[in-house]
Amino acid sequence: MSKIYEALLRAEQERAASTNQPQQAPEQTTHVIERAAAAASALAVEELPATTETSTHVPVADPVYTEPRSYDEPTYVEPAYSSVAAVTHPTAPLDIKAVRSTVWKPMLDKLPALEERGNAVEQFRSLRTRLFGFRDLNKLKSILISSALPREGKSFIAANLAISFARHKASRVLLIDGDMRRSSLHALFGCEQTPGLTTYLAGQASLAQIMQTAAVNDDGSPLFAGLGSLTFIGGGEEGDKAADLSGSGRFKKLIEEASPYFDWIIVDSSPVNLVTDGVNLASACDAVLMVARGGVTKFEAAQRALGELKSSKILGVVLNAVDRSPQSDGYYGYDGYDLPKTPTGQATQ
C-alpha cells in the first residue's frame, strides 16, 4: 500500500508543478495524503480475497461448514473421523464373539482325525508336524489344499488337517470351503452351507456373518475334541460366477482380516487343472499343499497342476488312499520315491 500512496502523492505534486500553481498549504497536502491512503486501501480490499485464496486455499470462515460448497471451489474440508484410531482403522475389526454357533453332525467315518488313536490319526499328526517344522523357517499360516482333478481327496485332507491342527494345544483354526462350484465340507461336518464364501465375495455379508462354530454341550465342553477350536466358512450358494468371485481381490482381504485371530487358515479349493478358481485363491495364501490319489492320479496331470500353481509356493504333495502300510521314514503312506516330480525334475518333499 505504501507504493500506491507514494505514486499518488508524486502524481499530485507533478500536476501542481506543471500548472504553476502555488505550493499547497499543509492542510491541502494532508488532504492529498488522505485521498491517496483511501485509494490504496480500496485497492487492497479488492485484491485481498483473490490473494488469500490463491496463496493458501483456506477460507477465512470457520472450517465447520453448514452448507455444501461447489466442487470447483478450493476449500478445506474437515475429515469425517473423530479420532486418529478411526483414520488408521476405518473398517471395524472382526468381532469373533458375533460368530454364530450352529449344530454340527460330523460324518465320523470321513473324519478320522476326530478319533483319539489310530493309523489315520498318526498320519495326520505326522503331516502336521512337518508343517510346523516348515513354519519355523518360513512364513506359513494360510494353506490352500488343491488337486489336479476331482475325486482325489483334497476336501478329505483339508478337513482332517484342520481338525489335527485344532487338536494341537487348542490352536485356533479357520477352515474355508473355497470350492465354490461343488462345496462338500459342510456335508462332512453336518453344518450349514450358507451364508458362505460366495456371499462374502459378492459383498452381501461381513466376515463374521459367514463364520460358524460348533455348538457345545450344556457344560460348555465341545462335542468332539478339536471342534471347539475350529471355525468354519461354508462355500455358500454354488453358481457359475466362481471364477469372477475368486479373482475379485476380496478373498485376499478376507485372509488379511481373519489372520490376526487364527493360528492356521486352511482353504479347500477347486481342482486346478479344470478351473482357475484355485489358482486365484492361491495367490492370497502363503503356500499350497497338493493332493494326489494313489493309483488314480496320472503323473502328467500332477505335473500340469504344479505348472498351474508355479507362481505360488508349493509345500509338497500328499499321496492319498494308499493301500500299503506306511513306512517308518515316510508319512501318510509314502516315501520320497512315491512323490510326483516337480517341473524341475526333483521329487517334491
Over the stretch 178-195, which tens digit does the pLDDT of each residue have? 999 999 999 999 999 999
Q: What is the pLDDT of residue 58?
A: 40
Are 106 and 230 a contacting pair, CB within 8 Å?
no
- Is 8 found in the same domain as 142? no
CA distances from 303 to 148, 214, 224 (A): 9, 38, 38
Looking at per-residue confidence, does 63 or 266 come out higher?
A: 266
Give the model's confidence band at 341: pLDDT under 50 very low, under 70 low, under 90 confident, else very high: very low
- Is 164 found in the same domain as 273? yes
- Is 122 found in the same domain as 39? no
Say whether pLDDT at 88 is over 60: no
CA distance 320 to 47: 83
- Is 148 found in the same domain as 31? no
- Is 290 found in the same domain as 159? yes
Q: What DSSP character marks residue 336?
A: G
CA distance 318 to 292: 6
Q: What is the pLDDT of residue 72?
A: 39
Say whether pLDDT at 229 is over 60: yes
Measured in degrees and rounded to the nearest 5, phi and psi for residue 316 equal 160, -170
Give the model's confidence band at 40: pLDDT under 50 very low, under 70 low, under 90 confident, else very high: very low
Say whether pLDDT at 274 is over 80: yes
CA distance 121 to 112: 6
53-67, 247-261, 288-302: segment of lowest average pLDDT: 53-67
- DSSP E strand stretches across 87-178: 100-102, 142-147, 173-177
CA distance 6 to 98: 76
Q: In this structure, how many other beta carbons lie within 10 angstroms of the beta carbon of residue 163?
A: 29
Give the model's confidence band at 219: pLDDT under 50 very low, under 70 low, under 90 confident, else very high: confident
CA distance 288 to 266: 10
Evaluate whether residue 72 is within a structural domain: no
Q: What is the pLDDT of residue 322?
A: 83
CA distance 230 to 208: 14
Are 315 and 309 a contacting pair, CB within 8 Å?
no
Evaluate whether residue 320 is within a structural domain: yes
Among 242, 314, 317, which Cα is nearest to 274's? 242
- Is 131 found in the same domain as 28? no
Evaluate whether residue 80 is within a structural domain: no
Give the model's confidence band at 321: pLDDT under 50 very low, under 70 low, under 90 confident, else very high: confident
Q: Say which residue the cell 482325525 belongs to.
A: 113
pLDDT mean across residues, the chain: 77
Say whether pLDDT at 203 is over 50: yes
The mean per-residue pLDDT over the stretch 218-225 comes to: 84
Evaluate whether residue 87 is within a structural domain: no
Evaluate whether residue 128 is within a structural domain: yes
Say whether pLDDT at 25 is over 80: no
The mean per-residue pLDDT over the stretch 230-257 comes to: 92
The mean per-residue pLDDT over the stretch 232-238 comes to: 94
- Is 48 found in the same domain as 102? no
- Is 181 found in the same domain as 289? yes
- Is 316 found in the same domain as 230? yes
Domain count, the chain: 2
Among 269, 275, 273, 210, which Cα is nearest to 244's? 275
Taking the chain, what is the end-to-end CA distance rounded to the nearest angstrom? 84
Evaluate whether residue 346 is within a structural domain: no
Evaluate whether residue 178 is within a structural domain: yes
Residues 65-80 as b or e (16 or more Cβ within 10 Å = b): eeeeeeeeeeeeeeee
> Which three cell numbers mark 27?
492542510
- Is 132 found in the same domain as 46? no
CA distance 271 to 278: 7
Q: What is the pLDDT of residue 94?
A: 86
* Mode of pairing for the β-strands spanning 230-233 and 211-214: antiparallel
Q: What is the pLDDT of residue 20?
A: 55
Give the model's confidence band at 83: pLDDT under 50 very low, under 70 low, under 90 confident, else very high: very low
Cα angle at 225 between 219 and 226, to 5 degrees? 115
Q: What is the pLDDT of residue 17?
A: 65
Evaluate whether residue 115 is within a structural domain: yes
CATH code of 202's domain: 3.40.50.300
For 300-313, how does the pLDDT look when each residue is reduced to its tens digit (9 = 90+)?
999 999 999 999 99
- Is 154 found in the same domain as 267? yes
Say whether pLDDT at 36 is over 70: no
Q: Which amino acid is at 49?
A: P
- Is 204 found in the same domain as 156? yes
Q: What is the pLDDT of residue 32?
A: 44
Q: What is the pLDDT of residue 49?
A: 44
- Domain extent at residue 266: 96-338
